[in-house]
Amino acid sequence: MRAMMLESVGTPLKLVDRPDPMPGVGEIRLKVEACAVCRTDLHVADGDLLHPKLPLIPGHEIVGIIDSVGKGVARSRIGRRVGVPWLGRTCGHCPYCLAENENLCDQPDFTGYTRDGGFASHVIADTQFAFDLDPDVDPVSLAPLLCAGLIGWRCLKKVGDSKRLGIYGFGAAAHIVAQIAIWQGREIFAFTRPGDKPAQEFARSLGAAWAGSSNESPPVQLDAAIIFAPVGDLVPIALGAVRKGGRVVCGGIHMSDIPAMAYTLLWEERELVSVANLTRRDAEEFFPIAKRAQVRTHTKVYPLEQANQALDDLREGRLTGAAVLVP
């Protein structure tokens, strides 16, 4: 198999050839069709997330065809298209797993972080954490749904029935969740990096009621806001934009430090919450809804060998939508 390998944090990925991996008990092997590039991959490569398995193959928005199965997995699964997300395995017996909060599992495995991921021609996955996908849909368009879509959906559930929704950081996750929110009848107010006119135009093209820079105030008070950008300075800004009783949801796995802020921003029963990982139930809910809402992902395709370029384009804000690697 061919793979882009992270040998040490802070260094470019290297193209390597390795023997094809073999699935173990309860595992499947996928021939990778597409793997989207997530900001979390950046956090792993840049060292924002500590203690990754090294050497490591990143990537956790994987679409592929099962070409081999391990003991305990029905051979009838061979040939099926599946998706593999960030949450790669849970223990099944900690208090969180038993309470159906497997996203908070005490002993999880994460694809492309504690186990090898999809920046490769093949990948091994736990069969219980691989979701059947539509065999007739373009795999490139499906790949961003495996994290950007799922995390966006979990964030959207956290804002309840809020009608006026602000989204800070209009990238891969935002452009998916915005389509679903608008389909649900919500108004979207998109906030981008200051001066990022292309991203603002992109948001408006998807149906956003308003789009502007993150240092601007929206034209109306928001019922809720989701922050996808990993920028702690946005927390007090978003709290200042929501009405009394409003909620701000932090959707990233990593964020820079939140600055000291006046208590009045939180007062009047405003809430600040975070979203961690995902559950299999999220996927069961999300994929049918994404289909009904006719979500269309906007992607830029890179060959596997250009994974470093894709990461750099994401790091520098040169992407509209999502980057996707194709082996």
- 231-257 residue pLDDT tens: 999 999 999 999 999 999 999 999 999
pLDDT of the residue at 300: 97
pLDDT in tens, 195-227: 999 999 999 999 999 999 999 999 999 999 999
Percent of the chain scoring above 90 in pLDDT: 99
pLDDT of the residue at 60: 98
Beta carbons of 87 and 277 less than 8 angstroms apart = yes
Residues in the chain: 327
Give the Cα separation of 248 and 234 in Å (integer). 10
At residue 35, the 3 state secondary structure works out as strand
CA 151, 131, 161, 190 dihedral sign is: positive
**Beta-strand (E) ranges in the chain?**
2-5, 14-17, 27-37, 61-69, 81-84, 87-89, 109-110, 122-126, 131-132, 164-168, 187-192, 210-213, 222-227, 242-250, 271-274, 299-303, 322-326
- Domains of the chain by range and CATH? 2-146+298-326 (3.90.180.10), 149-274 (3.40.50.720)
pLDDT of the residue at 68: 98
Token look-up 């882009």 returns 4
Give the Cα separation of 193 and 199 in Å (integer). 8
Q: How confident is the model at residue 88 (pLDDT cuts 50, 70, 90)?
A: very high
Give the Cα separation of 30 and 70 in Å (integer). 12
Please, which residues bridge with residue 226 across strands?
Answer: 167, 249
Q: How confident is the model at residue 305 (pLDDT cuts 50, 70, 90)?
A: very high
Q: How confident is the model at residue 33 (pLDDT cuts 50, 70, 90)?
A: very high
Please, which residues bridge with residue 325 across strands?
Answer: 35, 302
Beta carbons of 28 and 70 less than 8 angstroms apart = yes
Contacts of residue 274, defined as CB under 8 A and 6 or more positions apart, other chains included, come to 249, 250, 251
Percent of the chain scoring above 70 in pLDDT: 100
